[in-house]
């Protein structure tokens, strides 16, 4: 069944009015008809079964047939701090797949080796498309809460003290694996709602001074193994490791 995110202000008790972009999908792309049912969520943790009414070019609305509280969010709250990549398409792929995997929020970051000459205005020009990709991935994967997309940060501004674990992927780390770091916190706080920061670098990796900064601010360098993963693979692999370690793939 087709799923759509609809802002709360468009849901009034038993009636849903669809915004222009969703109206286009329903009418012109999917060619749905009055009487057909869809699922709608509004970022509140609820999912609505909606019967379409008045499917036409001017207005599409629907009647709410059922409202259900749905819990598809993982127990682990992951914030992915991903360096902006040379290829915007690869960065978008990370947003899509990590939304499907359950990441709570995304923070694009700039590091010493970030290749694009990225500015806040450049990021702002991408935000609408990135938000659309996150929304569509949430719709597809059955999530009822949209991941947050926060503002651009520079690497040397990163500092976290209110999270149980902050890790940075570093190919030169020879001692601490991501599994050992996760196992330690899992045994210390079993079955708890944990907050984890995951920091992933650009195509050229991190400079030594950045790793030193990370260590000085309580961020733990970890390895994903002896093979060096591409920048657009590493974050997805690490998020999968975290979800697996905390048993978040169970039904």
Task: Say whether both 160 and 91 belong to one domain.
Answer: yes
Contact criterion met (CB below 8 Å) for 195 and 161? no
The structure tokens listed for 4 are 């759509």
Q: Do 14 and 133 fall into the same domain? A: no
Residue where a domain stops, chosen among 27, 48, 69: 69
For residue 172, the 8-state DSSP code is T
**Residue 115: partners with Cβ closer than 8 Å, 6 or more residues away:** 85, 86, 202, 203, 204
Domain co-membership, 8 together with 125: no
C-alpha distances out from residue 6 to 3, 126, 138, 201, Å: 10, 21, 12, 34
Alpha-helical (H) ranges within 148-207 are: 178-188
Among 238, 79, 243, which residue's Cα sits nearest to residue 150? 79
Residues 59 and 136 occupy one common structural domain: no
> pTM (2 decimals)?
0.91
**Coil/strand/helix, residue 79:** strand
Residues 53 and 161 grouped into a single domain? no
Does residue 11 sit in the same domain as residue 106? no
> In terms of domains, do 54 and 84 share one?
no
Collapsing DSSP to helix, strand or coil, 180 comes out as helix
Residues 220 and 182 in one domain: yes
Domain boundary among 20, 36, 69: 69
Please check whether residue 49 lies inside any domain of the structure.
yes
Query: Is 8 contained in some domain?
Result: yes
Kindly state whether residue 105 falls inside one of the protein's structural domains. Answer: yes
**Pairing mode, strands 220-222 and 11-12:** unpaired
Answer whether residue 189 is part of any domain: yes
Exposed/middle/buried for 167, CB within 10 Å: 0-12, 13-18, 19+?
buried
Q: List the pLDDT tens digit at each of the 251 positions of the chain.
A: 899 999 999 998 899 999 888 988 888 899 988 899 999 999 999 999 999 988 876 788 899 999 999 989 998 999 999 999 989 899 999 999 999 999 999 999 999 988 866 666 777 788 889 999 999 999 999 999 999 999 888 998 887 666 678 999 999 998 899 999 888 776 655 566 789 999 999 999 999 999 999 999 889 999 998 888 999 999 999 999 999 988 887 66
Domains of the chain: total: 2
Same domain membership, residue 221 and residue 119: yes
Q: Is residue 193 part of a domain?
A: yes
Q: 27, 37 in Cβ contact below 8 A?
A: no
Residues 91 and 196 in one domain: yes
Residue 44 tokens read as: 């509140």
Residue reference for tokens 């330690």:
184
Q: Would you say residue 221 lies in a domain?
A: yes
Beta-carbon neighbour count of residue 195 at 10 Å? Answer: 16
Element (H, E) at 133: helix 120-141
Task: Check which CATH number belongs to the domain holding 209 and give it.
Answer: 3.40.1280.10
Residues 57, 141, single domain; the answer is no
Q: Decide if 250 is inside a domain.
A: no
* Domain endpoint, select from 54, 69, 84: 69
Which residue, 232, 210, 221, 212, is CA-closest to 171?
221
Domain of residue 36, CATH code:
2.40.240.20
61: enclosing H helix or E strand: strand 61-69
What distance in Å separates the CA atoms of residue 15 and residue 240, rounded to the nearest whole number?
38
Give the dihedral of Cα atoms 6, 102, 90, 167; nearest 10 deg. 140
Residue 251 lies in a domain: no
Give the count of beta carbons closer than 10 Å to the beta carbon of residue 49. 16
Same domain, 239 and 176: yes
Domain that holds residue 201: 76-245
């Amino acid at each position: 069944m087709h799923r759509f995110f609809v802002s709360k202000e468009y849901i009034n008790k038993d009636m849903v009015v669809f915004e222009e972009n969703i109206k286009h999908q329903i009418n012109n792309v999917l060619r749905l008809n009055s009487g057909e049912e869809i699922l709608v969520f509004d970022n509140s943790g609820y999912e609505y079964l909606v019967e379409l009414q008045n499917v036409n070019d001017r207005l599409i609305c629907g009647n709410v047939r059922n409202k259900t509280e749905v819990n598809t969010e993982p127990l682990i709250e992951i914030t992915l701090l991903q360096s902006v990549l040379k290829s915007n398409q690869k960065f978008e792929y990370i947003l899509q797949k990590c939304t499907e995997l359950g990441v709570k929020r995304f923070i694009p970051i700039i590091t010493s080796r970030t290749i694009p000459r990225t500015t806040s205005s450049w990021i702002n020009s991408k935000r609408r498309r990135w938000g659309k990709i996150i929304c569509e991935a949430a719709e597809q994967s059955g999530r009822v809460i949209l991941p947050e997309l926060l503002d651009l940060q520079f690497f040397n501004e990163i500092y976290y003290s209110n999270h149980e674990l902050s890790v940075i992927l570093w190919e030169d780390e020879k001692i601490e694996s991501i599994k050992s770091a996760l196992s330690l916190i899992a045994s210390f706080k079993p079955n708890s709602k944990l907050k984890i920061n995951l920091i992933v670098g650009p195509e050229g990796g991190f400079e030594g001074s950045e790793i030193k900064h990370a260590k000085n601010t309580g961020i733990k360098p970890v390895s994903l193994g002896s093979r060096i993963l591409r920048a657009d693979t590493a974050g997805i692999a690490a998020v999968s490791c975290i979800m697996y370690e905390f048993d978040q793939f169970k039904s």
